[in-house]
Structure 1
Amino acid sequence: MTRAIPWALLGALILTQICYPLTGGGARAALTVLTVVLGYLLSVSHALLTRGVRTAVTLIATTTLCGFAVEALGVATGFPFGTYDYSGRLGPKLLGVPLVIPLAWTWMAWPAWLAALRLARSRVARIAVAGAGLAAWDLFLDPQMVAEGYWTWRSPTPALPGVPGIPIGNYLGWLGFALLLMAVFAAAAGPRAAVAADRDAPILALWIWTYASCVLAHAVFLGLPASALWGGVLMGAVVLPLLVRLSRR
């Protein structure tokens, strides 16, 4: 029975994301929040069911709590992502940060880590791969959310070609923090979190689905072809080798 929980949450998440481009306004914002909540529940429940309480608690402590802390720091000081502000469209805020935002760090940090377990052997290499993969996901996330008006930068230049509104420094901040996040998680989670499990399939499917659906949505449905290209190339550098590895097995 417990094996079905991650698959059920993944199915609900995919259905929610399919509905996203078919809506607008408040309904789209509600689907955004629902997607993040489902992704959070999926990652945390999978970590608990496959790696135990220590891994799940460490995942929450390092990605949810630290994710909130860095977002609050960013809103207050402009470090490390640049000076930005959240609108009120993603629900209640604490210290200027919508409460749903830290959940997104956890949602995607866990699949990034499990993908790295398949692609690298040493802890340092896994931290690098997981951090790079998580940061590359932001090449999809920020352009989409800025286009919806969920947050804005006060000084959005210099930006990547074709992706206005987001400073390049934001992506560098993401990379630095993602690497730090993965290093802290790897050190604190214990040996069970560093072993690939047979029951990781739903999370690896989440990782691959996120990549493929983002490329498609940005290129076709959301009118963001440049971010489809940037994210497709850079996140693809982590996702596509995983697909090759899984196909060989």
Structure 2
Amino acid sequence: MNKLWILFGALVLAEIGYPLTEGRARTGLVIATVVIGYVVSVAHAWLTRGPRTAGLLVLVTTGGGLLVEAVGRTTGYPFGDYDYTAALGPRLLGVPLVIPLAWTWMAWPAWIAAGRITAGRAARTAVAGLGLAAWDLFLDPQMVSQGYWQWHTSTPALPGVPGIPLTNYLGWLLVAVALMALLGTAPQRGPYQDAPMYAMYLWTYASSILAHAVFLGLPASAAWGALGMGLVAIPLAVRLWRS
């Protein structure tokens, strides 16, 4: 478990470096952050729940993420009419390889966070789906502003966040809940050592607000993300504080 904390520290350093760099260096940090986050999430699933759950996590969120992104960019459903630029490197089925890794990176902390603040599989599935989808209130504005992907039709959009249609966020919520429903078929026993995932979810929340509001010039997405992801992050922080 100590190695997970070391990797988490590396992720934090990579994210701190993101607003301090530009061009290829910044893109390199994006890819490094996703890869490290992916390794931490899958490794945590393996160490705490075993290889069966870790395998299910990869199958559902990495494989499922790739499939839904490939369908999405081809058909426009369920996210809207969008496509990736060449900035994020090699693709599979038209999707940069780093993208499905990102689904897994944040799906697992969202699932773990939801398990701490809910009771029952249905409630956990819904809250975990919300917790993952709300992350996109930060992710898409940041990535679109850097030219990593773009929408061909971007209206209607959230106030202050142009270039991203509302259909995207609704699509994220639909897909996220579906993925969490599948992930919920894994055995659920405990107690587990889940502190690294709580830390990852809360760090992502707090650091994204700060980065968007102060360093990236994206105050509207800072506000929307604080509101949306806060629906899970704030109850989680309160629960951890009281325990």
- TM-score in terms of structure 1 length: 0.96
1:80 counterpart SS class? coil
Long gaps (5+) in structure 2: none
- Rounded to whole Å, the distance in 2 between the matches of 1:24 and 1:66 is 31
2:1 matched to 1:7?
A: no
Once the two structures are TM-superposed, the CA of residue 234 in structure 1 deviates from its matched residue by 1.0
Task: Go from structure 1 to structure 2 and tell me whether the alpha carbon gap of 1:168 and 1:78 turns closer, same or farther (over 3 Å shift).
Answer: same
- 1:224 corresponds to which residue? 218
Task: Go from structure 1 to structure 2 and tell me whether the alpha carbon gap of 1:196 and 1:78 turns closer, same or farther (over 3 Å shift).
Answer: farther
CA contact (8 A) 1:114 1:196 kept: no
1:152 counterpart SS class? strand
Among candidates 80, 90, 99, match of residue 82 of structure 1: 80
Q: Which amino acid aligns with 2:222?
A: A
> Where do residues 139-218 of structure 1 align in structure 2 (5 Å cutoff)?
139-187=137-185, 189-192=186-189, 195-197=190-192, 199-218=193-212
Once the two structures are TM-superposed, the CA of residue 191 in structure 1 deviates from its matched residue by 2.7
CA contact (8 A) 1:118 1:196 kept: no
Residues 18-61 of structure 1: per-residue CA shift (max 9 Å, x gap): 00000001110111000000000000001001110011000000
CA contact (8 A) 1:153 1:166 kept: yes
Give the alignment's Cα RMSD to 1 decimal: 0.7
> Hey, which bits of structure 1, 4+ residues long, moved more than 6 A?
none
Once the two structures are TM-superposed, the CA of residue 237 in structure 1 deviates from its matched residue by 1.0
- 1:23 corresponds to which residue? 21
2:163 counterpart SS class? strand
Among candidates 63, 84, 88, match of residue 65 of structure 1: 63
2:86 counterpart SS class? coil
Once the two structures are TM-superposed, the CA of residue 196 in structure 1 deviates from its matched residue by 4.8
Identity of aligned residues (%): 63
Q: Which amino acid aligns with 2:115?
A: L
- Rounded to whole Å, the distance in 1 between the matches of 2:191 and 2:176 is 21
- Rounded to whole Å, the distance in 2 between the matches of 1:26 and 1:213 is 22
- 2:230 corresponds to which residue? 236
- Rounded to whole Å, the distance in 2 between the matches of 1:58 and 1:204 is 20
1:165 counterpart SS class? coil
2:150 counterpart SS class? strand
Long gaps (5+) in structure 1: none
- Rounded to whole Å, the distance in 1 between the matches of 2:32 and 2:238 is 31
Paired residue total: 243
